[in-house]
Amino acid sequence: MSWVAAAVLAVGLARLLPRKVGLWVELAVAIVVAVVLGLVATGLDFGGWGVFDPRAFALAFFGSVSSTALVRIVQLPGPLSKR
């Protein structure tokens, strides 16, 4: 289950950039995306539950980074909102 490690690493790197987004929201979304993409990677024969495969890790990591970025973009204030 290196996919969860990829999600935690992605969120950890994202937390280096200051943003007022809840840690638990980012972590939950990243882990769900990493597990789903890990299952997709298993279906593509990139390794399985007990075998570390760099391709599955990369798929889960970049998917988690993308989902974390999407969560942050969605929670940005709009152009008409007052800060």
- Nearest alpha carbon to residue 66 among 22, 7, 25: 7
Q: What local confidence, expressed as pLDDT, does residue 81 receive?
A: 59
- Are the CB atoms for 61 and 33 separated by under 8 Å? no
Q: What CA–CA distance (Å, rounded) separates 60 from 19?
A: 23
Q: What local confidence, expressed as pLDDT, does residue 67 receive?
A: 93
Predicted TM-score (pTM) of the model is 0.82
Helix/strand/coil percentages in the chain, nearest 5: 65, 0, 35
Tokens of 7: 């999600």
- For the chain, give the number of residues: 83
pLDDT tens digits, one per residue of 50-83: 778 888 899 999 999 999 989 888 877 766 656 5
What is the rounded average pLDDT for all residues in the chain?
84
For 34-49, what is the mean pLDDT? Answer: 85
Q: What local confidence, expressed as pLDDT, does residue 48 receive?
A: 66
